[in-house]
Structure 1
Amino acid sequence: MTTTPKTPNWFDIGMDAWALAAESNMVIAMRIGSLALGGPNAAREAERMVTEKVAANITLGCDLMRGKLGSSPEAIVSGSIAHYSKTVVANRKRLGIRLLRRCPKLPVSRNK
């Protein structure tokens, strides 16, 4: 994701939002695969997913009420995107590593 400057403009905010949406879709796809397998890991992932979403929303609401995100619309939107991006990036990395561990090793072609 891009790093929005101290004085965010709507173009940079739009690009950050687009990047967050794209990365969120990757996380959703990985989670669907994990949930489709079922079992205790799927139950833990579902619980984690709901818990993270509730905690992220409460934290963002508190930050907004305290004025931590700023006072301009640009700062508030940019701060909100940055807030959610941290969790989405961490989930993509965590789920990606778990996905790689489950996949069988692909054969390497020895053709020259």
Structure 2
Amino acid sequence: MARAARNPWIGIGFDAWRLGLEASAVIGLRTMLIVQGGPRARAESERMVSEKIAAGLSLGAMAMSGRLGATPASASARTLAHYRRKVSANRRRLAKA
């Protein structure tokens, strides 16, 4: 008997939850840095905005070129993975500061 296909949306939901958790950590870390003011706060604010623009543009290019996949589930999973890489890198970088 063939094995039943796994429901991809369960994993996608978990990935979205993890992204939200890491994003809230980044928001907290950035807030603490920006509240202190000074050149580091300014640089972080500028970096935050430029990263968001770059991440959105690159995701749009991925979508237009078909690299997100052909199904809603694959597009959702790859979109979450795209943003999670960025958010995770920011969390690690900000936690060191």
The interval holding the TM-score normalised by the smaller chain is: over 0.9
Match of 1:64 in 2: 63
Say whether the 8 Å CA contact 1:69–1:75 is kept in structure 2: yes
Matched, 1:95 2:94: yes
Q: Which runs of 5+ in 1 are unaligned?
A: 1-6, 99-112
Q: Quick one: percent identity of the two aligned structures?
A: 43
Say whether the 8 Å CA contact 1:70–1:76 is kept in structure 2: yes
Per the TM alignment, residue 43 of structure 1 is displaced from its structure 2 partner at its CA by 0.3
State how many pairs are aligned: 92
Match of 1:103 in 2: none
Change (3 A) 1:8 1:81: farther
The CA deviation string for residues 38-97 of structure 1, in whole angstroms up to 9 with x for no partner, is: 000000000000000000000000000000010100000000000001110100000000
Matched, 1:83 2:82: yes
Match of 1:36 in 2: 35
- Aligned letter for 2:8? N
Distance 2:37 2:25 in 1: 19
Match of 2:13 in 1: 14
Say whether the 8 Å CA contact 1:8–1:74 is kept in structure 2: no
Match of 2:3 in 1: none
Q: Which runs of 4+ in 1 moved over 6 A?
A: none
Change (3 A) 1:8 1:46: farther
Instruction: Name the SS of the counterpart of 2:70 in structure 1.
Output: coil
Say whether the 8 Å CA contact 1:8–1:78 is kept in structure 2: no
- Aligned letter for 2:54? A
Whose helix proportion is higher, 1 or 2?
2
Per the TM alignment, residue 8 of structure 1 is displaced from its structure 2 partner at its CA by 6.8
Q: TM-score, normalised by structure 1?
A: 0.80
